[in-house]
Structure formats: structure tokens, C-alpha cells
Amino acid sequence: MAYITPDKAEPDLNVQASGFFRDASDLSDAEKQEDKKDDPSYNDTFGDEEYAEVKYKVLSWWQCGFLMVAETVSLGILSLPAVVATLGLIPAVILLLGLGLLATYTGYVIGQFRWAYPHIQSMADAGEILFGSIGREVFGTGQLLLVVFIMASHLLTFSVAMNTITSHGTCTIVFTVVGLVVCYVLCLPRTSAKVSYLSVASFVSVFSAVMIVMIAVGIERPWKGAIAATVDTSLYEAFLAVCNIVFSFSGHVAFFGFISELKDPREYPKALCLLQGIDTVLYIVTAVVIYIYAGPNVTSPALGSASALVAKIAYGIALPTIIIGGVVNGHIACKYVYVRIFRNGDLMHSRGLVATGSWVGIMLGLWIVAWVIAEAIPVFNDLLSLIASLFASWSTFGFSGMFWLYLNKDQLFSSPRKIALTIFNLFIIAIAACICGLGLYVSGRSLHEDTTTASFSCANNA
């Protein structure tokens, strides 16, 4: 998968000759800084951080990988057993495996695009390269909305968990406010390195919770009937399920930001493989095992499929991933806005009152918006389907196809291999358009037909 790097200016031979015999130790600090400006490794969002108060480029590849896991493997996994019940065992496994492999490819293309253009920190930067200032606004707005909607889904799931654990101990709105406060406080550190340690706890949390539910339903066997390899379903129900699978692989929107904070961006493929290896295997195993033992009446979120006591235990153990997944996405949303405002300025790396106060204020505003969305769309599956249709279809699949076509625009038909890859990436864009169009229809219909819950309600949503 070759890519074209941007044209570089011809080197100044006089400058090279004048410094050819000079050792680096002979250069003044000012000259060293000037030399670094010509180094592509410093031509990025955060520049040279050697003397910065706040350093952003501090992630090792495994820290980046677990951040990606925390951002991706959180809520999506809880809807997948119900997806298998809707689609049938064989179609669901094929879709999970196929979309997982496709998400790995599109994630790698994002890395290629970032290597070619080191200044990219967000989808907005990438959109500007493709379509100019209009692309910047469209891609940037899409990224921000997607991440804020995901933050909302974490607040909604937090309320479901607390209602389950406490047997609806108080008004559901109170629980969402508590979730907002907890997530907001944990989002206050400005660099991703601090959040990366929380991401390891997030993975342990969600893995432990689904293992408990798998073991419990295996022992309890709430479904004694036969398991169907395929099921009769409608396009409406099937595509709602597909949207939930798309949502479970929707972490790509944050990949540019994670790469920009790596110590060495060339190690990004290691982080990507860590993510995709964990999520694809965990998704398939969890979805299949819980469906086999819980049967076609499996709940979504899936932690409620076991007995009431086990569900309380599982939700209690899953609380860290519900909270930390929201924290990671909140951090991504705030970082996008913060970088957009202070990029190329001294405040980016400052710990001063204006810089810190701006971060705190932006974060609070974003979490309040997420809370309003969570209260306005209080149905877990409907919210996930809407998110996947509107935004994740493009950020996970469609945009990556565009990135590849742009990188290879001068050699799209230069060889049989390039022709095949060109057709393949056009096909990926078509998949994204299909998911967006049909997904909006089915999620809108689902929201319209669901009369069981009301917005801004104290009712039990467990």
C-alpha cells in the first residue's frame, strides 16, 4: 500500500556546504532550534517540546494501543450478543470478522495519511487537505459530534448500570448527573499519557465483566432451546444490528490525535494491531458465547442477560470501563477544540491561568452537551445506531477510502495492483454511504416507534 509523500523543497546547497564540516556541538542553541524546524519529525501539531511546560508527545506504542482499546472496546461490545440474536450466528460472525479486518485496513490508511502529512492532529486537518477550508469544517464538525455523542452514550450506560446496581435507588437523571461529574473530573489532566494508565484499568474492567456474564449464563443456561445458524429478519431489524457492529469499531475518529502524541509515530501500526487483535477476538467470543446460552431474548446491554445478582456484580465491575471510556472520548473532544483555538500559540504548552482555565471550561461545556443528548435519546440501541449511521460510517470507513485515493491520486491505474486497490477503496466509500443512508432511516424509524421511554425522565432504564 504505497503512498505519495508531499513534495519537499530542494535543499539549499550553500547552506549545506557552509555547515558540512561543523559538529552539532559547535552550534548555538538558536541554531539548533532553527535546524529542528527543518526536521519533519518536528513539523507536527505540537512542534519541538524540549523546553515546553506541558509535553504532549509522550506516548509509547503500548500506551497508545490501550488508549485506542479504551476508546473503542467499551459500550459497543455490550450490544453485540443482541446483534447475533437478530442476524443469526453465522451472518453475525462473518460481519464481525469482515468489518474487523476492514477496520484494520482503514486504520492503517489513517496512519499512512498521517505519515505523509505530519501536521495532522484531527479529522479536520485531514479534511482540509482533501477539500480545503470547507473540508476542515465538515470533517471537524463530524468528529466533534461523533465523540460528543459517544460521551453521551457513556453517561446513558452509567445510568443503566447504577439503576441495575441500586435497583433504581433514585431518579435516573440524578445518576446521569453523577456520571457527568465523575467523568468531568477525570478528564481534567491535559495530556493523554495520564489518561493512558486509566485505559489499562478500563480494559481489565470490561474483560472481567463480560467474562463474569459468560460464565454465569453458561452455568444458569437461561435458554434451553436450539440455536439458529440463521434467522428470518427484516431489513429494518437487520440494519439496526449492523449499525451496532459499525459502532463497535468506531474508534478511528481519534486515531490522528493518538498518533500525534506518540513519541515515535512510526510505531503506530503496533498500537493498531494491539487494538484490532483485542477487539475483534473479544467481540466474536463474547457475542457468540452469551448468545448461545442466553438465546434470542438476550438483552442489550448484554450484562443484564444473567441473573439479577450477577448483573449487579457485572455492572459494578464494568463501571470503570463505562467511566474511563467516556473520559477518553471527552479528552479527545476537548483536545480537538483546544488545539483548534490555541494551535501555534504559546498557550498550547502553558500551565497558566488562561490556558488551564480554557481547558477546564471547554471540557465542562462539552460534558453538559453530552448530558443533554443522553437525556434526550434515552434508549441504548437507538443512540448507538444513530451515532454509527451519522458519523462512524464515514470516520471508520469512508474517509479512509478518500485518504488512500488522495495519497495515490497520480498512480491510481498505474499497475494491476493499484487498479485493484483503487476499486477496493471506492468500494469502501460506497459501503460508508450505504451505512449512512440506510442507517439513518432505520435508526430514525426506531426512535419514532419506541414509545417505552421518555426524554428527561426519572423512570428506571435498566
pLDDT digits (tens, 9 = 90+) for 27-86: 444 444 444 444 444 466 776 666 667 777 888 999 999 889 888 887 678 889 989 999
Q: Which of 161, 159, 163 is nearest to 374 (CA)?
A: 159
Question: Out of 48-62, 151-165, 329-343, 407-421, which region has the weakest mean confidence (pLDDT)?
Answer: 48-62
Whether the CB-CB separation of 347 and 354 falls below 8 Å is answered with yes
Query: HEC string of 254-292?
Result: HHHHHHHCECCHHHHHHHHHHHHHHHHHHHHHHHHHHHH
**Run of H or E including 69:** helix 61-72
- The values of phi and psi at residue 123, to 5°, are -60, -30
Say how far apart CA 152 and CA 243 lie, in whole Å: 17
- Whether domain 60-449 has CATH 3.40.50.1820: the reply is no
Enter the DSSP assignment of 46: S
| 47: helix, strand or coil | coil
> Could you say which DSSP state residue 77 is in?
H
CA 244/CA 159 separation, integer angstroms: 20
Mean pLDDT, the chain, whole residue set? 84
Q: Which of 255, 256, 262 is nearest to 276 (CA)?
A: 255
**pLDDT level of residue 351 (50, 70, 90 thresholds):** confident
3-state secondary structure of 297: helix
pLDDT bracket for residue 24 (50, 70, 90) = very low
Q: Which residues pair with 59 in a beta bridge?
A: 262
How far apart are the C-alpha atoms of 290 and 221, rounded to whole Å? 10
pLDDT for res 48 = 65
- What confidence category does residue 26 fall into, taking pLDDT thresholds of 50, 70 and 90? very low
The domains of the chain are located at: 60-449
Q: Return the top range by mean pLDDT from 48-57, 117-126, 242-251.
A: 117-126
Query: For residues 155 and 371, is the Cβ–Cβ distance under 8 A?
Result: yes
- Calpha distance 36→140 (Å, rounded): 29
- The conformational region for residue 47 under phi > 0 = left, psi -120 to 50 = alpha, else beta, is left
Best CA proximity match to 107, nearest among 327, 397, 405, 349: 397
| Mean predicted confidence (pLDDT) in 175-187 | 94
Q: Round to whole Å and give the CA distance between 9 and 189.
A: 39
Strand partners, 262: 59
- C-beta of residue 86 within 8 angstroms of C-beta of residue 233: yes
Kindly report whether the peptide bond that precedes residue 301 is cis, defined as omega within 30 degrees of 0.
Answer: yes
Residue 5 has pLDDT above 60, yes or no: no
Question: What grid cell was written down for 129?
Answer: 487537505
Query: Cα separation of 102 and 89, whole Å?
Result: 20
The pLDDT tens digits of the residues spanning 425-457 come to: 999 999 999 998 988 888 888 877 776 666 778
pLDDT tens figures, 357-402: 999 999 999 999 999 988 887 776 677 777 778 888 999 999 999 9
Q: Is the pLDDT assigned to residue 415 strictly greater than 60? A: yes
CA-nearest of 244, 232, 222 to 87 is: 232
- CA nearest to 179, candidates 146, 154, 204: 154
302, three cell numbers = 448484554
Q: How far apart are CA 136 and CA 123, in angstroms?
A: 8
**pLDDT at residue 50, as a whole number:** 66
CA distance 44 to 67: 21
Q: What is the pLDDT of residue 461?
A: 80
Cell of 328: 477518553
Residue with cell 463497535: 248
Residues in the chain: 462
The band of 180, judged by pLDDT with boundaries at 50, 70 and 90, is very high
pLDDT at residue 375, rounded to an integer: 87
pLDDT digits (tens, 9 = 90+) for 151-162: 988 898 899 899
With DSSP H G I counted as helix, E B as strand and the rest as coil, what are the percentages for the chain, rounded to 5? 75, 0, 25
Q: Taking the alpha carbons of 66, 384, 430, 142 in that order, is the dihedral positive or negative?
A: negative
